[in-house]
Chains A and B, each alone.
Chain A
Amino acid sequence: MPESSPCNLSASRSENVFEDFKPAYDEKQALVEANRCLYCFDAPCQIACPTHIDIAGFIRKIATGNDRGAARTILDANIFGMSCARVCPVEVLCVGECVHNHQDVPPIAIGRLQRYATDRAVEEGWQFFEAGASTGKKVAMIGGGPASLAAAHQLRRHGHSVTIFEARERLGGLNTNGVAPYKLRADTALAEVDYVLAIGGIEVRTSASVGGASGPSLADLERDHDAVFVGAGLGADSGMDVPSADLAGIYGAVAFIEAFKTGVVDLSGVTHAAVIGGGNTAVDCVRELLGLGIPVVSMVYRGDESRMSGYSHEWDEAKVEGGRGVWRAMPVGFEGVGRVTGVRCAELDADKKVLPGRELTVPAQVVLLAIGQSKLGSLLAGLDGVELQNGRIVVDATGATGRPGFYAGGDCANGGKEVVNAVAEGKAAANGIHVYLTTPRQGRE
């Protein structure tokens, strides 16, 4: 990946201390692994992939030395194939379905093979796709993360013009700001964004918050465009309504990750940290804090280890790296004067009910709250036809909301899933928008 720091990323970012947790294959490693693939027909790995990459096909191409063909096959299905190769939880998707598992043979390392092909495509700028002949139709994208960018790329292939409105100063969404750096670093994510944008004809407006002071209103967007795609992701980290929650050293998890991925955080003097939550963000945070050099990092979760929603294979890695679990514990307040020194927790029973009189304190000079993020569906509240459910935008399989010409995908519609889901939904919505824009309707020109 380029050493440069696109979009004014600091060259001395805190995330730079992290090594790839799955190093890239060289050619001989890729060939050995590719030749183990059975080239299944109607392959279970492909079915398991939300973007349905022809995995057996691209692996065969690696085996014959057709690396560009391998990259094309991947990127044709998933233009974010490079980041998905790194960040996908392959253990529960493609690799988990590899038929080798059924004969107790190690499954094919699909993610690493995918990375082998796509790294070169991005590094060497192999471009496989051209914009379609211009249709004269204009589509606005709210948000500049994987869902919107995947949708934008697909819309360009159909020949529609696209403008992305991103509230932050950089594109890439969670790939840039939120993914654990041992999977994907911010500069790599931004290089991939540039690769996606290279299809041309995607206008980008950053620091442009739709409905806010720095961007157009929804009404403006609807007036000036033939369709709108909402890929706004999730909102701010949820906070805790307990005493002393405003002490210094207590951060929202996603905000903290963004801070150290795109800049520098100072953790000098911190010996203990705690992460509140039991999901994948919490597990990531444990590994990240350990990697940033904090000796003792505890995950504080209300349930048992077996009930946490974070992937067990990732938690196993976190434990190997030194992560500790504090189970059946519910924060009831924070200790410290001015700055947090510990998390005071009530002990819970197996049903997550408080055990009266039982408390414990987890020492921590840094506390990350990984208990969810607010939903941004309210952005569209009040628009006729747009239905919200628990803050999520309700869409059909083509990404359509109930309002003609309004589509959505990614975390704001699915509530928070993987990058690969966002890409799949963005692409499906782009195809839905294409049908919408090219199907004659009564009352429209």
Chain B
Amino acid sequence: MADLRSNTGGIRSPNPFWLASAPPTNSGDQIMRAFDAGWGGAVWKTLGSPIQNVSSRFGALNFRGTRAVGFNNIELITDRPLEVNFREIAEVKRRYPDNAVIVSLMVETEEEWRDIIKRSVDAGADGLELNFGCPHGMCERGMGSAVGQEPKVNERITSWAVGYSTVPVLVKLTPNVSDILPHGRAAQRGGAHGVSLINTIKSIIGVDIDRFVLEPRVGELSTNGGYCGAAVKPIALHMLAQLARDREFQLPISGIGGVSNWRDAVEFLLLGSSSVQVCTEVMLRGYRVVEDMIEGLNTYMDDKGIANLDGLIGKAIPSYSEWGNLDLNYDTVAKINPSSCIGCQLCMVACMDGAHQCIHPNPDGTRVPFVDESECVGCNLCQIVCPVPGCITLEEVNERLPPASWNQHVDSGATLRAKKGVH
């Protein structure tokens, strides 16, 4: 059994699976049930001046019969009295001393930050997470992503929080910026012990085409919300990796954004997360999903001979390079396995209309398409649309010119192979 114990900037948990600050962490009762199910940590739903929420708060993106591949919300921070939250935090920590309880915070003035941090630490929080990411509602009041989009404000408030806190402070970053690096570095300059990312992405999840109103609908109005769920994972992975490979940025990262199962978690760890936070999949399926996450991660690590998370965190970062460094002489072509092909010809139409016109009807009259390897650019589109796993493979062409990147070509005239698919 692999050692799954996790440490994110001094916040320790029995495994790297945390619940993100969100409806699943709204109360002590919920968080205790989550810990019973196996969650290693939980980020308490953001505390601040309690607010009033609207009715109708969530919307979902369905795609080809799969419900909620993407999800958005216009819910705000906690609407429960602060003293109730603090009493429950203390109760949870008393009953679950080994699980991590991180309290998410969002207030305005320095005095408010000082006060709410003291109360959180007094209640027993293992760490704090500064919510600089909420992209709806709270930002209209100068909080949330309004802070996260201004590095100087981010740095100043972070330094207040770190000054007042006796427990580790994470800064939760917003993805609603053009470049994540200045914002991660600002948190680092402010003295944060780590960052968490991504918060939700500004979104309109859909439009009611009969009423002509955005969704989710509040009467006859709506507003933009925060987008999350499985569909946002690629955006999260990019921002995570951007920070993780930055030489200047040195803080540990708690990864968030579309983690739905153990495979997703492994990807986040490989790109530099020390822990992962999950919300949407729990909202859709319940706390119970963590059992498979823990077991799947454990089995994966055992299979790979990886003893602990340190052996996994950041392992894929060295593979993240610039386009200009990619080998232009690397060459793959698509191969279709005729014995597993079911003859749908989705690869053919995709290649003809969406790629480089190198997959054709088979001259032998069967429905197994023919790949013109002299024209195939190895783009992967056929493999992506093929409904049969393993039927289409991209295989390396053996006879190749020596590796040559665009940068090498420009700098020293390295020889590039002849282009394919440019008929």
Contact = CB atoms under 8 A, between A and B. Distances in A.
State yes or no: do A and B come from one complex. Answer: yes
Interface of A: 27-28, 31, 39, 41, 57, 60-61, 64-66, 68-69, 72
Nearest to A56: B288
Nearest to B261: A64
Nearest to B291: A57
B14 interface: no
Contact of B289 (A27, A60, A72): A60
B388 A66 contact: no
A28 B388 contact: yes
B324 interface: no
B285 interface: yes
A233 to B, nearest CB: 36
Nearest to A62: B292
Interface string B225-262: 00000000000000000000000000000000000011
B286 A60 contact: no
B299 interface: yes
B182 interface: no
Contact of B296 (A28, A41, A57, A66): A66
B212 to A, nearest CB: 31
Nearest to A61: B292
Contacts of A31: 389
Interface string B382-409: 0000001110000000000000000000
Contacts of B288: 41, 57
A27 B292 contact: no
Contacts of A61: 292, 295-296
Contact of A64 (B263, B388, B390): B263
Contacts of B388: 28
Given A28-B388, A64-B262, A69 B295 contact: yes
Contacts of B296: 61, 64-66, 69
Contacts of A39: 285
Interface in B68-125: none
Contacts of A41: 286, 288
20 contacts: A27-B389, A28-B389, A31-B389, A39-B285, A41-B286, A57-B288, A60-B289, A61-B295, A64-B262, A64-B292, A64-B296, A65-B263, A65-B296, A66-B295, A66-B296, A66-B299, A68-B299, A69-B292, A69-B295, A69-B296
B235 to A, nearest CB: 22
Nearest to B297: A66
Per CB-CB distance, the 4 closest pairs between chain A and chain B, nearest first, are A66-B296, A69-B295, A64-B261, A28-B389
A57 B292 contact: yes
B262 A66 contact: yes
Contact of A66 (B285, B292, B390): B292
A276 B295 CA distance: 51
B379 to A, nearest CB: 23
A41 B299 CA distance: 25
Contacts of A66: 262, 292, 295-296, 299
A57 B287 CA distance: 12
A65 B299 CA distance: 11
A362 B392 CA distance: 58
B233 to A, nearest CB: 14
A31 B263 CA distance: 15
A61 B286 CA distance: 15
A223 B414 CA distance: 88
Nearest to A60: B292
B60 to A, nearest CB: 16
Contacts of B389: 27-28, 31
A36 to B, nearest CB: 10
B161 to A, nearest CB: 37
Interface in B254-299: 261-263, 285-286, 288-289, 291-292, 295-296, 299
Given A66-B296, A68-B299, A69-B296, 18 more contacts: A28-B388, A28-B389, A28-B390, A31-B389, A39-B285, A41-B286, A41-B288, A57-B288, A57-B291, A57-B292, A61-B292, A64-B263, A64-B292, A65-B263, A66-B295, A66-B299, A69-B292, A72-B295
A41 B286 CA distance: 9
Contacts of B261: 64
A192 B296 CA distance: 25
A61 to B, nearest CB: 5
> In this complex, which of B262, B289, B292, B389 has the most chain A Cβ atoms within 10 angstroms of its Cβ?
B292
B187 to A, nearest CB: 33
Nearest to A65: B263
A65 B265 CA distance: 14
Contacts of A72: 295
Nearest to A64: B261
Nearest to A63: B261
A318 B292 CA distance: 40
B389 to A, nearest CB: 5
Contacts of A28: 388-390
A69 B299 contact: yes
Interface string B287-325: 011011001100100000000000000000000000000
Nearest to A66: B296
Nearest to A27: B389
Contacts of B263: 64-65
A352 B136 CA distance: 76
A39 B285 CA distance: 8
Contacts of B390: 28
A98 to B, nearest CB: 17
Nearest to A28: B389
Contacts of B262: 64, 66
B387 to A, nearest CB: 9
Contacts of A64: 261-263, 292, 296
Nearest to B390: A28
Contacts of A57: 288, 291-292
